[in-house]
Amino acid sequence: MQQMQPARLFKSMLRIRRIEEALADRYAEQEMRCPMHLCIGQEAIAVGVCAALHPTDRVFSNHRAHGHYLAKGGNLNAMLAELYGRATGCCGGRGGSMHLIDLDVGFMGSTPIVGGTVPLAVGSAWASSLKQSDQVTVVFFGDGCFEEGVVHESLNFAALHKLPVLFVCENNDFSVYTRRNERQPDRPIYRLAEAHGMAAFSGNGNDVEEVLNISSEAIDNARLGRGPQFIEFRTYRWREHCGPNFDDDLNYRSTQEIESGMGDCPIASHAAELTLKDASFSRDIEKYEDEIRQEIAAAFEFALSSKKPTSEDACGKVYA
């Protein structure tokens, strides 16, 4: 496996952050007519896990999919066009933010049904096993998803057949507006996964190097036929559950808590580490910011200049 260099990890996280901030800024224009779940604050998990994958490996995601799609190499133009409901979108403009797909890079899809992509990922891994390929399948989900029965059925099946699948739980402590300690007994999620008969890990999801190291070990295990792997990463969601705003006005978490979560920024901490090792890295950051700014501007121009889908081509999007 050729691991991504620290500077590339930083740029990949920064790119996701700036893209989502641009989406948040433009969402109030009411041109993106779809619900949108941002992963701002959680970028290190998507980047660190995907950096450990081969290009031919497969990824499934959930309603909070932008970071996973981009980290796996998904086409930015097609993603923005999808959010604007344009025909050039990755789902032909009919899926919106929660239905992203880019088969060219192994991003197999995302859906808003909580837990819905977990059995799909197990099916993908089963196919790889039957074909005796070396593909590994990864599925990202949140701590709320772990309360779905289908997740545990999928873990059981994957363990029984020793499938090459990595389950990644992004534990941000909230299921919409309800804290985990109001929904689950006090017990580590990864220990429950371990009880299903698979190797299980936990780590700091705001440290991209730690995410990469743990993910590399787990993915290597899966690729070498050691069965399914499970990782629980702790992290924090900055923005509201659904939408572009901060939500301290909803009284389920305080302004001070959000500020504390933002103080553990995965991008700022990684930049500080790299700058400490090489002071000239601050100039690299400026270069990355400029490159990303230009890329985002071009992607918005592409999306907004694309045509909207028509009723005439609707039949081409129906599957039965």
Q: Which one is predicted more confidently, 312 or 54? A: 54
Q: Which band of pLDDT confidence, cut at 50, 70 and 90, is reported for residue 181?
A: very high
Residue type, 212: L
Q: Which band of pLDDT confidence, cut at 50, 70 and 90, is reported for residue 311?
A: confident
Q: How far apart, in Å, are the Cα atoms of 174 and each of 16, 20, 276?
A: 21, 20, 34
> Is 318 among the domain residues?
no
> Is 319 among the domain residues?
no
Q: Which one is predicted more confidently, 239 or 314? A: 239
pLDDT at position 2 over 50 = no
Domain count of the chain? 1
Distance CA 131, CA 81 (A): 35
pLDDT digits (tens, 9 = 90+) for 258-282: 999 999 999 999 999 999 999 999 9
Domain hosting 219: range is 6-304
pLDDT at position 316 over 90 = no
CATH number at residue 225: 3.40.50.970
Least confident window among 73-82, 164-173, 219-228, 246-255: 246-255
Q: How many angstroms from the chain centroid is the CA of residue 57?
A: 15
Q: Give the residue-averaged pLDDT of 13-31.
A: 97
> Is 320 among the domain residues?
no
Q: Give the residue-averaged pLDDT of 237-258.
A: 94
* Nearest alpha-carbon partner for 161 in 197, 116, 189: 197
pLDDT digits (tens, 9 = 90+) for 116-143: 999 999 999 999 999 999 999 999 999 9
> Is 314 among the domain residues?
no
Average pLDDT of the chain to the nearest whole number: 95
Instruction: Report the half-sphere exposure of 18 (CA within 13 A, side-chain side).
Output: 20
pLDDT at position 241 over 60 = yes
- Neighbour count for residue 146 (Cβ, 10 Å): 25
pLDDT digits (tens, 9 = 90+) for 90-106: 999 999 999 999 999 99
> Is 159 among the domain residues?
yes
> Is 195 among the domain residues?
yes
pLDDT at position 320 over 80 = no
pLDDT at residue 314 in the model: 81
Q: Which band of pLDDT confidence, cut at 50, 70 and 90, is reported for residue 205?
A: very high
> Is 128 among the domain residues?
yes
Q: Terminal CA-to-CA distance of the chain, rounded, Å?
A: 39
Distance CA 40, CA 244 (A): 10
Residue pair 180/255 in contact by the 8 Å Cβ criterion: no
Distance CA 257, CA 259 (A): 5
> Is 311 among the domain residues?
no
